[in-house]
Structure 1
């Protein structure tokens, strides 16, 4: 799986968090055990502000227990809604005790306005609380807290109770208590019960401070609602000053990123009830600017209780969220962001409203250019220009309803229920129905990821069709760029794509050689994987005489225990081939130095040569005592013919171009009295390259330089063979992890990265019709990673790509094998 990125996530993790806020909301709640005695009962930060009646901020406690609680070593503490690196908790020490069923009033800072003083406080501090959003903690010590995330605060045993309100990062449960104002506080609902869900335990209403002398009363707040609690209809609520198109703006990052917004109107168009939970809203009254989207995702973290068709007002914090891969930072990630409304308060105005009509995607409105060439610059530094590229266009309709009609599948379903379709059915069509990569940075513009927003998996393969309308919203995922999050999928019409079977050799004098990446094959893999690989070798590859295998793991698989031998893995496969009706293959391999050849950590993947010694003889060269892992085989002249000092051997294995990468395995075979040189490869992977779907365009391919170096070293080795015998039979094959038009393949063929040197090899993939030039399907793009190249001495080769894996939902490997037949 040389092109695959590591995936560990829930469905559509590109929206699995709304920045830091959303990521924290999924963590354990602070004070996970509900308080049965003293709780924070009311918080108010608008004291003395414009329009306020009360002069001071306050925090009110309540004792739900049946016995007094001594507070003399306790404190209440406050931190801002979005604490930074230097932000600290502000501490107000408490004194005395709180009676059973009683209240306790903590007076905080005064503003310049207000007309009424608080009741006599039981404790006094000088904390200037926010009037709209913040976090208050009741702590059983008077030492300042250090936690700044929900997860860290949950782990602090000194926190007895905690309330985050508005858009606070730190809160209990799946959502904050409602945002407050200069005239409203947040009070715990009737009975003062604590369920550790700030979003449902508290409501906003008129401040009602009570001290220890007060007769306990139940606050009577004005009803409000929070993100995942049941929205409370408030017919008198009115839209705020901003619309969705104002929030999305004409830039890639929202002009209001980080701002709190109030009463943004929209119609609920779709729900996401699995993975990253939330819902989409869209404004039915768009502006006239095609660059500004009218849709946005509202991240709730728990199952939303709004319904499709609800007309809502959403107050929330705007967050442009970037999903970061391992090692990424906000400055280095090549992923684009998703604009979301996080930690929302939702008011439902009406239900059963008509949804905005979806945009029907087709060649008529989706641009022909997938991404603009910006010389590697960040596309976010440019304005959204919908007609410029596919990336621009989908950004301009991010979060809006779209429709793809009779969409043909060009990338099969994976285990996450992701698949790819084309909205341009005549674009770059392969002979089996995929969408082909025809040049560097030429991603087919009709390609679009589709994922059902309910998490279902349709298990479709290339050539299948979603007939009728597939309707949903435009989202973004780091695993495949823009995605149609489908509320409804078209009916699947099977294309019944048949696996390819190679034509067997027509003469006993023809030698057949194949290459097959078996995707991290290990002894612990299911017997069915071995059986399917064996069946493919016997039936679809027609029992090749020689097979170069890539990604064969050691005997302990991915366990990093120092094991490097792979005889158990190989013997299990060869036994499965015999059981499938094939020959008993012999093999040659060189164990790598532990953890030096890249691939899955601990797996020690390597290339292996299987051969049918009833048809072909392996020519062993070199002493058995030689350390072939680190010793280079050399080309020498033997009576005017090229010969190897080590067979099997490695080509210059200590050269830095092979660092953390597989080393080529070179061998001599004898067939019909002729010598055939076979070089099996697995070049450096594309992992670490910037995304074709990301913000840097065109994306940097940091791995390309190493592959070009590897190709050059191998070219020079082959040149030595041909210098001795011009028409020597040389076959170079394997997973080269690059395209037929790449600098690496040019270097391998000609010794120059631009391909201007004399060619000593023919890349057989280029001899096929253009619509057949692919060996792999990467995120809906049919492309070439695997190659067989032959030297000029090999004439009239019969070459076939055997499509049995990459186009299918149920794959044995992610690569398709190939085979060449020729007469030495």
Structure 2
């Protein structure tokens, strides 16, 4: 599930004097002594914000709106400042702060300035209105009168469990909630919206999403709610997306205060405070002007036990767009994890293996160099001499990064397990189930499952292979279902959000389920293991379809609830990767090995997982 972001460059704030000079030249700042003699409109910020998500004054001019500057954004193309009224009304639904957009022009103010702002009220939709996100009320084309400086800022509103409702959003039956009256005591999204732009604070905040490369992280205002065993927040149903999650970014110049590098389970001790913003990279965000001190709780990467001599170990690992152009350090880290943390599984289903020239769109589809580089790194790390099997896709037909031609592939340790090579498998030929000696077999090994099915349009086709372990045949299916791209955001204005990508995954699950049924029809005691990145949750329609008819068991459901995750997105610890087994593969030992998803320093954004089974 890739994050669609742009690179943000933080620049040191200019001196107040140069800002004022630039603002005067741009016509943004009106000195107090030469303010317009026209009478003020009497409009306050809470009048602009109103009691819904849309300003009742959108599109209108406002004049001499008073407030105190609480924060300044001096970098990027969306420069501006937040100011807040020091004389709030009594309505819980109306925010007392708003963002003033100056574009690429440096804001002509400093924190603590008491100002009068005139300009045009508008609603800004992050990512564009078609993205389906909520809007941010702002004042554009501003002129600013500074009345005084060095004023005390309004006290921040502390986000705590008693303030943020557990119920996440009003139900608009899939429609927009933006014109509904805000009910901040009933819905979390309404509470956050009622605080839009205002100074808010979290204290001793538990980190539930590690620091990203974009210098942000996720905390929760409800640290006890759905807590994982390692300090995260578990996403266990569509009905509860964990209302306490909020993102933290920073307005503090990096040279003045580097952004904390935090893992899940760490803490921002003390106060983290700033205006509550909303953007298309995670929704409600504290743009921190004050950051708590990082308390490192020393989260450790997990190591699973070694399989016994008579146990078959099968793993799955999404290696996140691996190609020969990937730095060697990543190959080495992936190899070390496979050898040490996963204890050298006998079979590994890999996802996101790119072709030999990576994202260069030159018609190359072969991945020999990528897989050779990985297996050599594994051997150098003290692991087995893995062999691989895979099928090259048709150029540009399997989705992922353009030019990368990602695919699934098998690694296997020939000293422990044999691969039954059956010729005939290619990118467009469907593998069939046959019978040999009264048992199930494959017409091609490796072979692709139903590649002409429309369910696999612009998506990876499952790879089936027949292995033998201690005289027992084992069928392994490596999968990488389509991504969640195109789904509406959990925090967007359409509630409940539409999950349009779910339809294709459900059709993909139907195709894999049908293939497993054919194996079991040929031999009801067939040993089948379905593994990979299914890009969906254990409670999703896709997984219900994949397991329908009791042909497969999703092993994640066998774990204790607090351990059911291997991916962290926007502060939610969740399941995207799965290993499922047929009835005859019973009494298994299954482990999601937490080495990536909870950490700021990742070799991949997915945690690998492994099962051990004694035939």
Matched, 1:582 2:373: no
Matches of 1:499 and 1:9, distance apart in 2:
28
- Is 2:210 aligned against 1:412? yes
Match among 467, 472, 494 for residue 674 of structure 1: 472
Q: Would the aligned equivalents of 2:52 and 2:181 in 1 still touch at CA under 8 Å?
A: yes
CA shift digits 1:617-663 (9 cap, x unpaired): 000113xxx46100001001212100000000011100100000000
**Range with bigger deviation, 535-544 or 297-306:** 297-306
Deviating runs (4+, > 4 A) in structure 1? 229-239
Give secondary structure in 1 for the equivalent of 2:370.
Answer: helix
8 Å Cα contact 2:4/2:281 also seen in 1: no
1:655-670 mapped onto 2 (5 Å cutoff): 655-670=453-468
- What is the match of residue 550 of structure 2? 759
Distance 2:508 2:340 in 1: 34
SS in structure 2 of the partner of residue 315 of structure 1 = strand
Contact 1:475 1:482 in 2 (8 A): yes
**CA-CA distance at 1:551 after TM superposition:** 0.3
Alpha-carbon distance, 1:11 to partner: 6.5
**In structure 2, do the counterparts of structure 1 residues 358 and 234 end up closer, same or farther at CA, with 3 Å as the change threshold?**
farther
Question: Is contact 2:566–2:577 with CA below 8 Å preserved after alignment?
Answer: yes
Give the CA deviation at 1:274: 2.1
Does residue 430 of structure 2 align to residue 632 of structure 1?
A: yes
Q: Which residue does the alignment assign to 2:153?
A: 355
SS of alignment partner, residue 385 of structure 2: coil
Which of 116, 132, 144 is the aligned partner of 1:346?
A: 144
Separation of aligned partners in 2, 1:290 and 1:426: 26
Other-structure match for 2:285: 483
Greater relative contact order, per chain length (Cα 8 Å cut-off, separation 6+): 2
TM-score (structure 1 length as normaliser): 0.71
The Cα of 1:233 is off from its aligned counterpart by 5.2
For 1:89-238, what aligned pairs fall within 5 Å after superposition? 200-201=24-25, 226-227=27-28, 231-232=31-32
Deviations 1:252-307 (A, max 9, x none): 11111121211110011111222232211000101111111000111223332422
Q: What is the DSSP-based 3-state SS (H/G/I as helix, E as strand, rest coil) of the residue aligned with 2:47?
A: helix
Q: Which residue of 2 aligns with 1:161?
A: none
Q: Answer whether contact 2:30 2:145 (CA < 8 A) is retained.
A: no
* Cα displacement (A) at 1:563: 0.5
Stretch of structure 1 that moved more, 580-589 or 376-385: 376-385
Cα distance, 1:415 vs structure 2: 1.2
User: Does the C-alpha gap of structure 1 residues 749 and 684 become closer, same or farther in structure 2, counting only changes over 3 Å?
Assistant: same
Is structure 2 residue 346 aligned with structure 1 residue 545? yes
With 252-261 and 670-679 compared, the bigger mean Cα shift is at 252-261
Distance of 1:537 and 1:600 partners within structure 2:
24
Superimposed CA distance per residue, residues 736-758 of structure 1 (whole angstroms, 9 cap, x where no aligned partner): 000000110011001xxxxxxx3
> How far apart, in 2, do the equivalents of 1:730 and 1:801 lie?
19
Deviations 1:441-478 (A, max 9, x none): 42111111111123643221101100011111110011
Q: Distance in 2 between matches of 1:487 and 1:235?
A: 30
How many residue pairs match? The answer is 601
Matches of 1:373 and 1:615, distance apart in 2: 54
Answer yes or no: is 1:310 the counterpart of 2:113: yes
Q: Tell me the CA shift for residue 333 of structure 1.
A: 2.3
1:450 match: 248
1:766 is paired with a residue of what secondary structure? helix
Q: How far apart are 1:435 and its partner, in Å?
A: 0.6
Partner of residue 270, structure 1? 71
In structure 1, C-alpha distance between the alignment counterparts of 2:533 and 2:547, rounded to whole Å: 15
In structure 2, C-alpha distance between the alignment counterparts of 1:742 and 1:287, rounded to whole Å: 44
SS of residue matched to 1:719: helix
| Cα displacement (A) at 1:522 | 1.1
Aligned counterparts of 1:645 and 1:762: Cα–Cα separation in 2: 25
Q: Distance in 2 between matches of 1:580 and 1:441?
A: 44
* Alpha-carbon contact 2:252-2:290 (below 8 Å) kept: no
User: Structure 1 residues 388, 233: closer, same or farther in 2, change over 3 A?
Assistant: farther
Deviation at 1:236, TM superposition (A): 8.9
- Asked whether the 8 Å contact 1:271–1:280 carries over to 2, the reply is yes
Decide whether the 8 Å contact of 1:441 with 1:692 is kept in 2: no
Q: Output the CA distance in 2 between the equivalents of 1:10 and 1:384.
A: 32
CA contact (8 A) 2:7 2:214 kept: no
SS at match of 1:734: strand
Question: Which of 166, 172, 177 matches 1:368?
Answer: 166
Q: Which runs of 5 or more residues in structure 1 are unaligned?
A: 13-173, 176-194, 203-225, 751-757
User: Equivalent residue for 2:15?
Assistant: none
Offset, 1:372: 2.5
In structure 1, the residue matched to 2:82 is: 280
Q: CA separation in 1, counterparts of 2:34 and 2:469?
A: 85
Does structure 1 residue 473 correspond to structure 2 residue 264?
no
For 1:236 and 1:555, how far apart are their aligned partners in 2? Answer: 66
Find the partner of 2:295 among 482, 493, 507: 493
Please give the per-residue CA displacement for 1:80-106, whole angstroms capped at 9, x wherever unaligned. xxxxxxxxxxxxxxxxxxxxxxxxxxx
CA contact (8 A) 2:209 2:571 kept: yes
Matched, 1:813 2:604: yes
Could you say if the C-alpha distance between residues 706 and 245 of structure 1 is closer, same or farther in structure 2, counting changes exceeding 3 Å?
A: same
CA distance in 1, matches of 2:170, 2:373: 49
1:319 correspondence with 2:125: no
SS in 2 for 1:459: coil
Query: What is the CA deviation profile of residues 347-368 of structure 1, one whole-angstrom value per residue up to 9, with x for unaligned ones?
Result: 1111121111111111111011
Counterpart in the other structure of 2:8: 10
* SS of equivalent to 2:273: strand
Q: Could you say what secondary structure the match of 1:377 adopts?
A: coil
Deviation (angstroms), 1:231: 5.0
- Partner residue in 2 for 1:155: none
1:234 CA drift (Å): 5.3
Deviation, 1:699, is: 0.6
Deviations 1:757-793 (A, max 9, x none): x311111111011011001001110000000001110
Name the larger-Rg structure. 1
| Counterpart in the other structure of 1:68 | none
* Alpha-carbon distance, 1:582 to partner: 0.6
User: Contact 2:433 / 2:522 at 8 angstroms: preserved in 1?
Assistant: no
Residue among 614, 617, 624 paired with 2:418: 617
